[in-house]
């Protein structure tokens, strides 16, 4: 049962997306076993809304290793609609491009996004992840054994909708493997050289959020904004200011993608989602 009648999409995001909780938004609080969660509900169309959950929960900034992921995801579970997570990442290696940008004279001859050209290709959609975090609670089930299936960690149906939206708007993007580190420090050059053998982008907020979403039976996908080349892949140091600038530069486009996705979901019947994805049955037969 949905907590908010007209909400069709929940957004979980961090730095740079507080605008979604400002003027015109209805502020609510959802109680979870892990603490209260502030949620902003704002109108996205004539008869549908979106819910926004900030990872920082009213504070200026919460370090990634201290985010209360269980509370955030449990609140999303109570809202009961698909979840789009927005994450900032560094690009670790050249990745193939997808999307429709034949009309763009600058981009039409490009086939790959490289760390030195990430500004032209800032959007990345993960289809898998590697967990390199160290001290985060990655389950709701500490009192029982639940082996949730993570073969397909991100909802294929929701990702396909994202692909269609990006291509319809002639936005180039790449996809691949997201690697999550503990933070809050940035990675060393040696770490990036090792990680790049196994993954494409590196970030600090995607895990355990994606795992908890799977345990909660949520349709969950991530839209990553590439804000910088990873450590050692440019002549410059990796800085927090660089990440912030990258987020701000692409904020308008991200919000447009969110609006388009919510519009698509508003025209989808709940049963259609159940038929086309397996997210809600991920924990079936998972308990010992």
**Which residue numbers belong to the known binding site for phosphate?**
55-56, 205
Q: Tokens for 17, please give them.
A: 């997306």
Distance between CA 280 and CA 90 in Å, rounded? 31
Backbone angles phi, psi at 8, to 5 degrees: -115, -10
Annotated binding site for substrate: 204, 228-230
Residues present in the chain in total: 288
Backbone angles phi, psi at 247, to 5 degrees: -65, -50
Tokens 């200026």 identify what position? 60
Annotated binding site: 55-56, 204-205, 228-230
Backbone angles phi, psi at 206, to 5 degrees: -80, -20
DSSP per-residue codes, the chain: --SSTTEEEEEEE-TT-GGGGSTTPEEEEE--TT--EEEEEEE-SSS-EEEEEETTTTSS---GGG--HHHHHHHHHHHTS-EEEEEEEEE-S-EEEES--TT-TTTTT--EE-GGGGGG--EEEEEEEEEE-SS----S-SSS-B----SS-S-HHHHHHHHHHHHHTT--EEEEEEEEE--SSPPPHHHHHHHTTT-SEEESSSTTHHHHHHHTT--EEEEEEEEEEPTTSSSSPP-HHHHHHHHHHHHHHHHHHHHHHHHHHHTS-HHHHHHH--GGGTTTT-B-
Tokens 């997210």 identify what position? 279
């Amino acid at each position: 049962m949905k907590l908010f009648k007209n909400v069709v999409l929940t957004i979980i995001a961090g730095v740079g997306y507080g605008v979604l909780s400002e003027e015109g938004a209805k502020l609510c609080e959802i109680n979870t076993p892990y603490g209260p969660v502030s949620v902003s509900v704002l109108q996205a169309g004539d008869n549908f809304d979106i819910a926004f959950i900030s990872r920082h929960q009213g504070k200026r900034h919460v370090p990634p290793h201290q985010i209360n992921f269980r509370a955030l995801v449990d609140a999303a579970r109570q809202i009961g609609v698909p979840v789009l997570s927005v994450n900032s990442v560094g690009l670790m290696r050249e990745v193939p491009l997808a999307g429709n940008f034949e009309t763009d004279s600058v981009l039409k001859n490009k086939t790959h996004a490289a760390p030195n050209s990430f500004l032209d290709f800032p959007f990345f959609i993960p289809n898998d992840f590697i967990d390199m975090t160290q001290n985060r609670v990655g389950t709701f089930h500490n009192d029982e054994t639940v082996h949730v299936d993570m073969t397909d960690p991100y909802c294929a149906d929701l990702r396909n909708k994202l692909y269609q939206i990006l291509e319809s708007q002639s936005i180039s993007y790449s996809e691949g493997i997201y690697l999550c580190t503990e933070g809050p420090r940035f990675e060393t050059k040696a770490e990036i050289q090792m990680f790049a053998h196994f993954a494409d982008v590196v970030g600090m907020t995607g895990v355990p959020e994606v795992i908890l979403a799977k345990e909660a039976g949520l349709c969950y996908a991530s839209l990553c904004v590439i804000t910088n080349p990873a450590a050692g892949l440019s002549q410059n140091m990796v800085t927090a200011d660089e990440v912030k600038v990258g987020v701000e530069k692409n904020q308008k486009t991200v919000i447009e993608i969110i609006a388009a996705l919510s519009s698509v979901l508003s025209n989808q019947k709940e049963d259609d989602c159940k038929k086309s994805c397996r997210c809600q049955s991920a924990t079936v037969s998972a308990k010992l």
